[in-house]
């Protein structure tokens, strides 16, 4: 058990100070009623009043908040040495071996350590460009790959924001459709009997040909193996195989961003790219690696590492691969194995999807339930046939889950209508039942609101509180990238 937590400031002062001295654009969950989380334990977080929340948002707390073995590994190493990674240290090598041992085949064999997912993807771009001597990159629509200038350029999720004068899509970046067969550019209902993997891969083929016609080549293709920001998208079987083939034949390299979806969360495999039967040329890993501590890595083929070395530009990163970060990452990977958390993701994730799927009988609002392991998306639609996004309803669910049921979930996708679950990997069946109970109650509420609305629309002037008043503003929506 943790020590009782004493706050430095009372919550209203924390908010006041934050508004005054922290940049306004630094985003907050539940913006109009932010949570002050003062401690965490396992799959739970606690606010300043001691209220306990079931955490379904934090894929960063992979093995559970404050896992004792991770805390111990970090504190022990802090008490010994934490220094620049330009000194020899064995924790870095143990960490590299721990990463490599989970990767199928032996093509990915050289590691670079960095501090965040953004840094990892930035380095991945440099490696791809150094190896191919080309600049053009193919990315997927709705993708998010980081907050640096270079990674914003490959993140339609960011550069498509209408007011964004910070970053625009450069000509050397190409956007392929996200292979979302439910509500993407090409939908399963319109392409019955077709190989959807091929339909979507053809988009990449067209881009490769266009770049070639313009007299250039493709440096690389970057994608998550399950798209998170797009709304927990599972690609059609064989999609990445086809795309990797197209890109490699064109001389490009394939980058897999496993910043969110790696380390066993997918349940059946340690890495999500394995669910598509491929091995990338460059793999980027971050968030779950440190259980909340900033540590990340890029893993590449020996040939790519060699090309990068031949540029003659030394790579140094003060904190990347420091002994404390590596000791923490090693503890995280050990706990995933020792506590069989990948297997837990498979069992609990399947149960969660099955039971959520059963709710579709009673609630038309659920259009699709999808996911792998403990990476689950529930797509809410106003109309199952038209698949019209139920954005306000998703916002309502997110807020009510927090306020009434003390369960933290987020919404995402281009229309913010997908309820997203990516809890710590220690999430268990009882937690799934708790979520299901709360979620069902929210859906019941929405059903009632809808029936009140359909009556009130018959009245000349609404005398009752309408659903639109009950449904809170969009700013409440939680986005968790
Ligand atoms: N790639 C993906 C898929 C991400 O979700 C994120 C962050 N949410 C990043 C890269 C960037 O990682 P970081 O915030 O650690 O820089």
Closest by CA position to 412, among listed 376, 445, 439, 440: 376
Atom of ligand 1 nearest to the CA of 287: 15
**DSSP state for residue 233 in the 8-state scheme:** B
**146 C-beta closer than 6 A to ligand 1:** yes
Question: Is any atom of ligand 1 closer than 6 Å to the C-beta of 224?
Answer: yes
User: pLDDT at position 3, please?
Assistant: 58
- Ligand 1 pocket check for 420: Cβ under 6 Å: no
For ligand 1, what atom is nearest to the CA of residue 146? 11
Instruction: Check whether 460 has a pLDDT greater than 60.
Output: no
Q: In angstroms, what is the span from residue 122 Cα to ligand 1's centroid?
A: 11
For residue 3, the CA-to-ligand 1 centroid distance in Å is 31
Q: In 3D, which of 361, 348, 364, 337 has the Cα closest to residue 421?
A: 348
Which of 117, 139, 148 most suits a substitution to test ligand 1, by most atoms within 8 Å of the C-beta? 117
- Ligand 1 centroid–CA 125 distance in Å is 15
Of residues 479 and 375, which shows the higher confidence score? 375
Measured in Å, residue 227 CA sits from the centre of ligand 1 at: 12
Protein residue closest via CA to atom 5 of ligand 1: 481
d(CA 76, CA 23): 34
CA of 368 to the centre of ligand 1 (A): 25
Q: Which residue lies with its CA nearest to atom 14 of ligand 1?
A: 117
Ligand 1 midpoint to CA 231 (Å) = 15
Rounded distance from Cα 147 to ligand 1 centre (Å): 8
Distance of CA 40 to the CA centre of its chain: 20
* Tokens coding 457: 């629309």
Q: Please report the atom of ligand 1 found closest to the CA of residue 296.
A: 15
| Mean pLDDT along residues 174-197 | 96
Q: Which pLDDT belongs to residue 457? A: 62
Is residue 145 in contact with ligand 1, taking CB distance under 6 Å? yes
Residue 481 beta carbon below 6 angstroms from any ligand 1 atom? yes
Using the atom order of ligand 1, give the atom closest to the CA of residue 143: 3
Closest atom of ligand 1 to 480 CA is 8
Q: Let me know the angle formed at the C-alpha of 264 by 259 and 269, rounded to the nearest 5 degrees.
A: 110
Distance CA 206, CA 214 (A): 12
Whether the per-residue pLDDT at 479 is higher than 70: the answer is: no
**Most informative mutation of 26, 158, 287 for ligand 1 (most atoms within 8 A of CB):** 287
CB-CB contact of 47 with 406 (8 Å): no
DSSP string over 411-476: EETTTT-EEEE---TT--HHHHHHHHHHHHHHHHHHHHHHHHHHHHTTSSS--SPPHHHHSPPGGG
- In order of 244, 284, 304, the CA distances from 130 in angstroms are 19, 17, 8
Q: For the chain, report the end-to-end CA distance as a whole number of angstroms.
A: 30
Q: What is the pLDDT of residue 66?
A: 97
pLDDT interval class at 473 (50, 70, 90): very low
Q: What are phi and psi of 367, to 5 degrees?
A: -95, -35
CA 117 to ligand 1 centroid distance, Å: 5
Instruction: Report the nearest atom of ligand 1 relative to the CA of 224.
Output: 3
CB 172 within 8 A of CB 137: yes
CB of 150 sitting under 6 A from ligand 1: no
Alpha helices in 153-260 (DSSP H): 156-159, 196-213, 239-249
Which of 439, 416, 415 lies closest to 362, judged by CA?
439
Residues in the chain: 481
pLDDT > 90? residue 96: yes
Cα–Cα distance between 289 and 328 in angstroms, integer? 8
Contact criterion met (CB below 8 Å) for 328 and 74: yes
Mean pLDDT, residues 18-38 taken together: 93
Sequence-distant (6+) residues with CB within 8 A of 334 are 69, 98
Distance 146 CA to ligand 1 centre (A): 5
3-state secondary structure of 377: strand
Nearest Cα neighbor of 327 from 111, 109, 79 is 79
Sheet of strand 136-140, all strands in order from the earlier edge strand to the far edge: 108-114, 296-301, 282-285, 253-257, 218-223, 136-140, 173-176
Q: In which band, very low, low, confident or very high, does the pLDDT at 287 lie, cut at 50, 70 and 90? A: very high
With bands split at pLDDT 50, 70 and 90, how would you rate the model's confidence at 59?
confident
Closest to 133 (Cα-Cα) out of 299, 302, 304, 247: 304
> Which residue's CA is the nearest one to ligand 1's atom 2?
145
Ligand 1 closest atom vs CA 294: 15
Angle, helix 302-310 to helix 117-132, in steps of 10 degrees: 80
More confident residue, 301 or 469: 301
pLDDT of residue 326: 98
Which pLDDT score, from 0 to 100, does residue 87 have?
A: 93
Residue with CA at minimum distance from ligand 1 atom 7: 481
Residue 472 above 60 pLDDT?
no
Q: Is 228 in the pocket of ligand 1 (CB under 6 A)?
A: yes
Better pLDDT: 452 or 63: 63
Residue 121 beta carbon below 6 angstroms from any ligand 1 atom: yes
């Amino acid at each position: 058990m943790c020590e009782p937590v004493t706050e430095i400031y009372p919550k209203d002062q924390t908010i006041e100070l934050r508004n005054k001295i922290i940049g306004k654009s630094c985003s907050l969950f539940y913006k109009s009623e932010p949570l002050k989380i003062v401690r965490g334990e396992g799959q739970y977080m606690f606010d300043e009043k001691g209220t306990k929340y079931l955490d379904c948002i934090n894929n960063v707390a992979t093995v559970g908040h404050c896992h004792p073995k991770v805390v111990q590994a970090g504190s022990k190493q802090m008490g010994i040495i934490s220094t620049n990674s330009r000194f020899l240290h064995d924790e870095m090598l143990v960490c590299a071996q721990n990463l490599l041992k989970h990767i199928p085949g032996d093509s990915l064999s050289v590691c670079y350590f960095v501090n965040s997912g953004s840094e990892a993807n930035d380095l991945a771009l440099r490696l791809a460009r150094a190896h191919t001597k080309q600049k053009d990159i193919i990315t997927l629509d709705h993708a998010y790959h980081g907050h640096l200038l270079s990674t914003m350029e490959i993140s339609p999720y960011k550069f498509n924001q209408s007011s964004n004068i910070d970053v625009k899509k450069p000509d050397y970046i190409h956007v392929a459709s996200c292979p979302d067969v439910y509500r993407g550019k090409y939908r399963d209902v319109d392409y019955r009997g077709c190989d959807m993997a091929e339909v979507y891969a053809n988009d990449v083929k067209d881009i490769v040909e266009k770049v070639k016609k313009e007299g250039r080549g493709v440096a690389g293709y970057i994608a998550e193996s399950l798209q998170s920001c797009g709304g927990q998208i599972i690609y059609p079987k064989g999609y990445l195989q086809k795309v990797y083939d197209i890109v490699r034949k064109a001389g490009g390299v394939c980058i897999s961003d496993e910043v969110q979806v790696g380390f066993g969360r997918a349940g059946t495999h340690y890495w999500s790219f394995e669910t598509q039967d491929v091995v990338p040329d460059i793999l980027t890993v971050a968030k779950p690696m440190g259980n909340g501590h900033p540590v990340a890595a890029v893993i590449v083929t020996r040939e790519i590492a060699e090309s990068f070395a031949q540029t003659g530009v030394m790579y140094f990163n003060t904190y990347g691969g420091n002994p404390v970060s590596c000791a923490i990452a090693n503890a995280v990977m050990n706990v995933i194995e020792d506590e069989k958390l990948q297997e837990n993701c498979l069992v609990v994730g399947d149960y969660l999807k099955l039971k959520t799927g059963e709710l579709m009988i009673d609630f038309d609002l659920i259009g699709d339930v999808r996911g792998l392991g403990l990476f689950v998306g529930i797509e809410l639609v106003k109309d199952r046939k038209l698949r019209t996004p139920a954005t306000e309803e998703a916002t309502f669910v997110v807020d009510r889950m927090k306020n009434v049921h003390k369960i933290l979930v987020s919404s995402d996708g281009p229309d913010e209508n997908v309820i997203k679950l990516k809890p710590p990997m220690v999430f268990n069946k009882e937690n799934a039942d708790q979520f299901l109970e709360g979620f069902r109650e929210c859906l019941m509420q929405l059903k009632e609101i809808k029936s009140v609305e359909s009556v009130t629309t018959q009245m000349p002037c609404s005398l009752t509180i309408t659903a639109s008043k009950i449904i809170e503003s969009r700013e409440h929506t939680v986005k968790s990238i």
